[in-house]
Structure 1
Amino acid sequence: MTRTQAFRAATALATVALAASALSACGAGGAGSGGKKVIGVAVADQKSLFYVAEVAGIKAEAKKRGYKIKLVSANNDSNLQIKQVNDLITQQVGSLIFTSQDSTAAAAGVKAANAADIPVIAVDQRPENGQGKLATYIATDSVKAADQLCTWMFSQIGGSGDIAILHGVLGSTAEIQRTQGCKDALAKNKNIKVVAQETANWDETEAYKATQNILTAHPEIKAVFAESDAMGLGAAKAAKAANKQIVSVGIDGFPTMFDGISQGLTQATMAQQPYKMGKIAVDNAISLMTGKGSVPKLQYQNTVLINKDTVGNYKATQFYGPNANSFK
């Protein structure tokens, strides 16, 4: 983050905090407000298939339960998301389902909702400790998933050799945890060497370009651990274009990754459950708004290893909802 970006983020955070304090004094928000039947939903974007599936699950469960949602998408703009969350608070939503863009937006959004007495259900991303109070956190155990996936990947290259890592958005919860998970696997596999690391921000095109550069500088690499499926596909396509045989893996379980594995383009993914997470988030939101039922503080969802041996046993719709194939 540049100094200018940091200044703007800090200014935006301070603005939201002041606004939230004013709202709290007026009694806005909370389970007892006029917005009791309305759930606010703030997500980082509606481009990532994970977030599209999450929102699909939210909409389906809210409709089933007779609740309305107010949905905003930040288009990966942290300052915009801070403003959007503040706007939801002024509309007196009864709860907030929050998938933050980054730590700045997460901290500001949670603090503002706390000040307005609106319970926060965080999905996928969460603020660091001390940055506000969450009612619950629903996510993939990305440390465990990355450890398992990298361990599998290392076995596919014979337990030794050079690899590259493609990181997601630096500082995001998923990026931190998936990096740690692969580090844990590396600690148990001393003959694996990381010779290149690039940031591709969860994006296929960025991953394609990054992998091109990596393959030019390190033509000997045997595998690429991409921290998302989009980046895994980008890496695989770059390798194919360069006539290189590498093992390329990702984490998500996108329908496109199922196809890539079936076609032999990519080798594996850890499938997450965003549609289910969206449904759980709505169920939790209603419990918090009505005071009926308990909500666990932490709710990790399991992942499933999808590779050439297992891809025929699963369908993307099991993880991304009934409309998963329309996301391709």
Structure 2
Amino acid sequence: MSTIQKLLIAAVSAAAIASACGSANAAEAKTIGLAVANLQANFFNQIKQAVEAQGAEKGLKVITVDAKGDAATQVSQIQDLLAQNIDALIYIPAGATAAAVPVKAAKAANIPVVNIDRNAEGAPGDTFIATDSVASARQVCDYILKQAGGKGEMLIIHGQKGTTPEVDRTKGCSEALAKYPDVKVVGELWSDQWHQDEGFKLASDLLQAHPNASIIFGQADALALGAAQAVKVANLGHRIWIAGFDGDTAALEALKNGVFDVTATQQTQKMGRMGVDAAIALAKGEKLPPVQLQDATLTTKENVDAFIKNHP
């Protein structure tokens, strides 16, 4: 029996106990569980802050747990949330592996699930709130490829393999690349946790192997900032254009200061508020669209000030 199967059996068993205790699918939500992938990431912290603020405004108790990037830890944490008789679960999977387990456990306990940013392959929540990463990554890559003159060698630092943002941002950038036959992707590596130190290490390795590269797409701002560090250290003597994705608060300041060149600013605060409203509606038995995609805004030095002043 695989580790995933064992996790699923344990989680569903715990959910059955929680369901037997009652309180699931309450007419009025009173307590919401928020399971976050990794609060070290500014993006997830912004969602947490928005969920907790919106929950307080609606008179809800929000119980937040942080998986710190570990899927097995997250499964255990969500078992604990189910045992606390939450009325709905807002869930950001810690990775592609075992992402379906908490959804199946919550459904076994008749507890509605709102996925934000990442969906669970094969076991989606009742609604999925996220940025349209395909369209936004296409915009970001199109911008950076134009800035590079439509030619050159490109490096891609992917996010966590198999997660919804990684898959969608890869697809969007690939669609942009199809219009630039003189740009060649010469190196790609995947991060484990979307961290800046990973971006630095992966970009350093890629630049050592491909010193003529002139374009880097980091699929998150942290990866792009790490790549910018690596470019500075490598001191290769030519211009390297760097793109990120997210609109993290620290990254927006770095963008203003010319550390990297472009990002897509997500409506992070809005998605957190939407998550709470969706949880309340689902707990009442209302039906919501299975997917609710939000726009991100292409952000450069020219328009970054507005997002620094007021993050959406």
Pick aligned residue for 1:13 from 8, 11, 20: 8
Q: How does 1:178-257 map to 2 (within 5 A)?
A: 178-201=169-192, 202-244=194-236, 245-257=239-251
**1:234-292 Cα distance to aligned partner (Å, 9 max, x none):** 0011101222431111101012221222111100100011111111111111122234x
Q: Give 1:87 shift.
A: 1.1
Structure 2 CA distance for aligned equivalents of residues 110 and 280 of structure 1:
19
Q: Give 1:316 shift.
A: 5.6
Give the structure 2 partner of residue 280 of structure 1.
274
Q: Give 1:29 shift.
A: 4.5
The two structures have a TM-score, normalised by structure 1, of: 0.89
Q: How does 1:8-87 map to 2 (within 5 A)?
A: 8-24=3-19, 26=20, 28-32=22-26, 36-87=29-80
SS at match of 1:251: coil
Structure 1 CA distance for aligned equivalents of residues 26 and 60 of structure 2:
15
Deviates more, 1:259-268 or 1:14-23: 14-23
| Amino acid of the structure 1 residue aligned with 2:126 | A
SS at match of 1:148: helix
| Amino acid of the structure 2 residue aligned with 1:166 | I
Q: Give 1:200 shift.
A: 2.4
Pick aligned residue for 1:311 from 286, 295, 304: 304
Give the structure 2 partner of residue 325 of structure 1.
none
Whether the 8 Å CA contact 2:93–2:119 is kept in 1: the answer is yes
SS at match of 1:30: coil
Give the structure 1 partner of residue 151 of structure 2.
160
| Amino acid of the structure 1 residue aligned with 2:98 | A
| Amino acid of the structure 2 residue aligned with 1:159 | G
Pick aligned residue for 2:92 from 96, 99, 109: 99
Q: Give 1:82 shift.
A: 0.5
Unaligned ranges ≥5, structure 1: 1-5, 320-328
Aligned length: 309
Whether the 8 Å CA contact 1:255–1:316 is kept in 2: the answer is no
SS at match of 2:25: coil
Whether the 8 Å CA contact 2:217–2:243 is kept in 1: the answer is yes
The two structures have a TM-score, normalised by structure 2, of: 0.94
Whether the 8 Å CA contact 2:14–2:83 is kept in 1: the answer is no
Could you list the runs of 4 or more consecutive aligned residues of structure 1 that deviate by over 6 angstroms after TM superposition? none
Q: Give 1:118 shift.
A: 0.4
Change (3 A) 1:169 1:222: same
Give the structure 2 partner of residue 142 of structure 1.
133
SS at match of 1:315: helix
Structure 1 CA distance for aligned equivalents of residues 190 and 156 of structure 2:
8
SS at match of 1:104: coil
Q: Give 1:8 shift.
A: 2.7
Structure 2 CA distance for aligned equivalents of residues 229 and 85 of structure 1:
28
Q: Give 1:301 shift.
A: 1.1
Whether the 8 Å CA contact 1:81–1:105 is kept in 2: the answer is no
| Amino acid of the structure 2 residue aligned with 1:263 | N
Whether the 8 Å CA contact 2:33–2:89 is kept in 1: the answer is yes
**1:162-212 Cα distance to aligned partner (Å, 9 max, x none):** 000001111111111111111111122211100000112311111111111
Change (3 A) 1:174 1:316: farther
Identity of aligned residues (%): 36
Structure 1 CA distance for aligned equivalents of residues 260 and 309 of structure 2:
16
SS at match of 1:103: coil
Q: How does 1:166-181 map to 2 (within 5 A)?
A: 166-181=157-172
Give the structure 2 partner of residue 323 of structure 1.
none
Q: Give 1:156 shift.
A: 0.6
